[in-house]
Amino acid sequence: MVAAAAEKLSASVREISQQVLQSGVARQAVGDAECTNATLQVLSNEAEKIGEVVQLIHSIAAQPNRLALIATIEAARAGDARCGFAVVAAEVKAFANQLAKATEEIAVQVGSDKIWSLRLTMYDS
């Protein structure tokens, strides 16, 4: 009888120990999830800021195209000064094309960096 009671007590102690261990693991999992959530929020905010910068770059890149169009129109109307306007229009257009290409490359790179950062964050958590 004493042996049976001791065995029951031992089993109860093991069960309590197991439950304490599981609650510690659960607390750790909750802490890890909260940390991951906070990190993702920071990354989301940073990605939004980067998106705003990319939009600004796209806006700036569109301006030389407008200048090239204006110079082309003026070249058509300029008479004797036509060659000068045509050269300016061609140079501005070439610059606009280079700027547009660079802007697109930046946007692609920023997108890749965002994805890479998210992956690293998820694996580190």
- In this structure, what CATH number is given to the domain that contains residue 125? 1.10.287.950
**Is residue 120 domain-shared with residue 89, that is, in the same domain?**
yes
Closest CA to 110 of 36, 60, 48: 48
- pLDDT of 75 > 80? The answer is no
**Is residue 14 domain-shared with residue 56, that is, in the same domain?**
no
**Is residue 24 domain-shared with residue 1, that is, in the same domain?**
yes
Full residue range of the structural domain in which residue 13 is found: 1-39
The rounded mean pLDDT for the chain is: 75
Please state the domain count of the chain.
2
Torsional class of 57: left (φ above 0), alpha (ψ -120 to 50), beta (otherwise)? alpha
**Is residue 29 domain-shared with residue 79, that is, in the same domain?**
no
How many CB atoms within 10 Å of residue 78?
A: 14
**Is residue 72 domain-shared with residue 121, that is, in the same domain?**
yes
**Is residue 17 domain-shared with residue 54, that is, in the same domain?**
no
**Is residue 59 domain-shared with residue 116, that is, in the same domain?**
yes
User: What would the pLDDT profile of 9-62 be if each residue is shown by its tens digit?
Assistant: 677 767 877 776 777 777 787 788 888 788 878 777 877 877 787 788 778 777
How confident is the model at residue 99, as a pLDDT? Answer: 81
How confident is the model at residue 111, as a pLDDT? Answer: 67
**Is residue 32 domain-shared with residue 58, that is, in the same domain?**
no
**Is residue 65 domain-shared with residue 117, that is, in the same domain?**
yes
